[in-house]
Amino acid sequence: MPLVRRRVLVSGRVQGVFYRDTCRRVAQRHGVAGWVRNLRDGRVEAAFEGAPSAVEAMVRWSGEGPEHAAVTRVEEHDEPPEGLTTFEIR
């Protein structure tokens, strides 16, 4: 099965609402590798790598986030897969 990778930049109320931890748990459920981190400007950045349908599910989830998040924008960028095997919080 081909792997795909997509990086997202998520804006809105996405820090201090357990976005990164929830993202890690959802990614693990979907079998997606990658990482997620807070940026100094208040956004969250994440990279998702895995099966196309699983990565797409994570991109959709990014636009919703956890219960207390208020996502206002998601920027998506396709990237070449790196062969990641785990999902981590950076």
Which pLDDT score, from 0 to 100, does residue 20 have?
98
pLDDT, residue 13, reads 97
pTM beyond 0.85, yes or no: yes
Note if 38 is an active site residue.
yes
Q: State which residues form the domain around 13.
A: 4-89
Give the Å distances, CA to CA, from 62 to 1, 6, 24, 42.
24, 12, 11, 15
pLDDT value of position 2: 87
The CATH number linked to 18 is 3.30.70.100
44/65 Cα distance (integer angstroms): 11
Q: What is the model's pLDDT at position 44? A: 98
pLDDT, position 73: 98
Annotated catalytic residue, options 38, 43, 60, 90:
38
Select which of 5, 6, 20, 43 is catalytic: 20
If the chain, 90 residues long, is cut into consecutive pieces of 10 residues, what is the mean pLDDT of each piece? Answer: 94 97 98 98 98 98 96 97 96
pLDDT of residue 55: 98
Q: Domains in the chain: how many in total?
A: 1
34 backbone φψ class: left, alpha, beta (φ>0; ψ -120 to 50): left
The whole-number pLDDT of residue 85 equals 94
